[in-house]
Structure 1
Amino acid sequence: MTSSIIWHRLDLPGHEIGKLVLRDDHRELSGTAIFTYERNPCKLDYLVVCDTGWRTRLARVTGVVGDREIDLSVSVDEEQRWRFNGDDCPAVSGCVDIDFGFSPSTNLLPVRRLSLKVGAAAEVKAAWLPFPSLTFEVLSQVYRRVGERTYQYESGDGTFVRVLEVNEAGFVTKYPGLWQAE
């Protein structure tokens, strides 16, 4: 199965295309985000490879942010030990999901992995790659399924709350104030 989506950014000028491919032995989430940040052109290509249980195993982000070249690689072993550009990254050890601060695409990963029933909630810790620093930190998140295709998302100990709408593939279609599917 293959699904794709295009988003329009609401907070900055820009667009993104995302693609999900379900393979027999793994899942691939890929895309390209093109946007402007502080008057600098940005283009970030990404690939996330998950096992069949939707646990992040590999990720890659390449591109440019203004004049800065971006080339990041991530690997995660079975014990959830993370390596960032070949170096151990103990700060995010134990995290299951990767979360790109520049994209709504990675919200799909816990949505698919958790398979929450309507009314249920789960707290997760994601290896967050905030933009523009693109350095890992742990981000506590709560996903609460409030409807068939609606989730309340919280992070920052409840200081950031949004109600996300998703499609049948799990892609966010509406992320208030940040992204909207076209």
Structure 2
Amino acid sequence: MQTVATLLWRRLDAPGHDACRLDRNDVAWQVDGAAVFRHRDGRIAQLHYRVRCDRHWHTQWGTVRGWLGGTPIDLSVAHGAKGWTLNEQPVPDLSHCVDLDLGFTPATNLLQLRRLHLAEGESAEVPAAWLDVGDGSLGLLEQRYERLPGGRYGYAAPRFDYRAELGVDADGFVHDYPGLWVAEAPAAG
């Protein structure tokens, strides 16, 4: 794999950081990262994640390992011809989802944005298989993206009553996730 981009985010609604790397080869893209943060329930989290997509940005699998408070986390998600699985157990009602969204990091918004490749003024409904590390579940996350001028996207996730304009960098990573995450400035030199 060859590294394409790296990014460091700072969490805005609670203490935390997330570092991520995007890699590629001839047949796949891979997002690899680590997040440390205070979870919405107050527990401290330390999570390593990896998501693999085919060359067309269709999620193939993802893993999350680490801990949340005193609870070890070891989750494996796969997407294939028979649908989605979580730790090798089938998850029904997600077969229409193409993307995996890890609920604790802004890194996986990249998958939808790269796959959709929306032109300015275009929008799309983008349901995703959403991994909640707090309860170890995989469920549906309805999302909507609209490409705006100036590297911005209108974004809505009704499940969380969240609407915002996301700033996106040239690699497709969200660098400004209002109220939740912001990219740290790159190091000089």
Structure 1 length as normaliser, TM-score?
0.94
- For 1:44, the aligned partner's letter is L
Matches for 1:68-83 after TM superposition, within 5 Å: 68-77=71-80, 79=81, 81-83=83-85
Q: What residue in structure 2 maps to residue 57 of structure 1?
A: 60
Runs of 4+ in 1 over 6 A off after TM superposition: none
Q: What residue in structure 2 maps to residue 166 of structure 1?
A: 168
* Runs of 5+ consecutive residues of structure 1 not aligned to the other structure: none
Question: Cα–Cα, structure 1 residues 125 and 39, in superposed 2: closer, same or farther, change >3 Å?
Answer: closer
Task: Please give the alpha-carbon distance, in whole angstroms, between the structure 2 residues aligned to 1:178 and 1:24.
Answer: 34
Structure 2 length as normaliser, TM-score?
0.91
- For 1:171, the aligned partner's letter is F
Question: Cα–Cα, structure 1 residues 70 and 123, in superposed 2: closer, same or farther, change >3 Å?
Answer: same
* Runs of 5+ consecutive residues of structure 2 not aligned to the other structure: 185-189
Task: Please give the alpha-carbon distance, in whole angstroms, between the structure 1 residues aligned to 2:36 and 2:140.
Answer: 25
Task: Please give the alpha-carbon distance, in whole angstroms, between the structure 1 residues aligned to 2:159 and 2:87.
Answer: 29
Structure 1, residues 78-113: CA drift from partner, whole Å, max 9, x if none?
x36111101111132221001111110010001000
Alpha-carbon offset, residue 129 of structure 1:
1.4
Task: Please give the alpha-carbon distance, in whole angstroms, between the structure 2 residues aligned to 1:42 and 1:123.
Answer: 30
Q: What residue in structure 2 maps to residue 125 of structure 1?
A: 127
Alpha-carbon offset, residue 148 of structure 1:
3.9
Alpha-carbon offset, residue 157 of structure 1:
6.8
Question: Cα–Cα, structure 1 residues 4 and 64, in superposed 2: closer, same or farther, change >3 Å?
Answer: same
Identity %: 40
- Is the contact made by 2:141 and 2:159 (CA closer than 8 Å) also made in structure 1? no
Q: Secondary structure at the match of 1:112?
A: helix
Q: What residue in structure 2 maps to residue 115 of structure 1?
A: 117
- Is the contact made by 2:73 and 2:133 (CA closer than 8 Å) also made in structure 1? no
Q: What residue in structure 2 maps to residue 91 of structure 1?
A: 93
- Is the contact made by 1:124 and 1:141 (CA closer than 8 Å) also made in structure 2? yes
- For 1:5, the aligned partner's letter is L
Structure 1, residues 29-83: CA drift from partner, whole Å, max 9, x if none?
0100001234432101000000011010010000000000000001111x36111
- RMSD over equivalenced CA pairs, Å: 1.5
Q: Secondary structure at the match of 2:115?
A: helix
Q: What residue in structure 2 maps to residue 155 of structure 1?
A: 157
Structure 1, residues 129-159: CA drift from partner, whole Å, max 9, x if none?
1352231111111110012411011111793
Q: Secondary structure at the match of 1:127?
A: strand
Q: What residue in structure 1 maps to residue 15 of structure 2?
A: 13
1:44 aligns with 2:47: yes
Question: Cα–Cα, structure 1 residues 84 and 175, in superposed 2: closer, same or farther, change >3 Å?
Answer: same
Task: Please give the alpha-carbon distance, in whole angstroms, between the structure 2 residues aligned to 1:167 and 1:30.
Answer: 18
Structure 1, residues 108-132: CA drift from partner, whole Å, max 9, x if none?
0010000000000011110011352
Q: What residue in structure 2 maps to residue 66 of structure 1?
A: 69
Equivalenced residues, count:
181
Q: Which moved more, 1:139-148 or 1:114-123?
A: 139-148
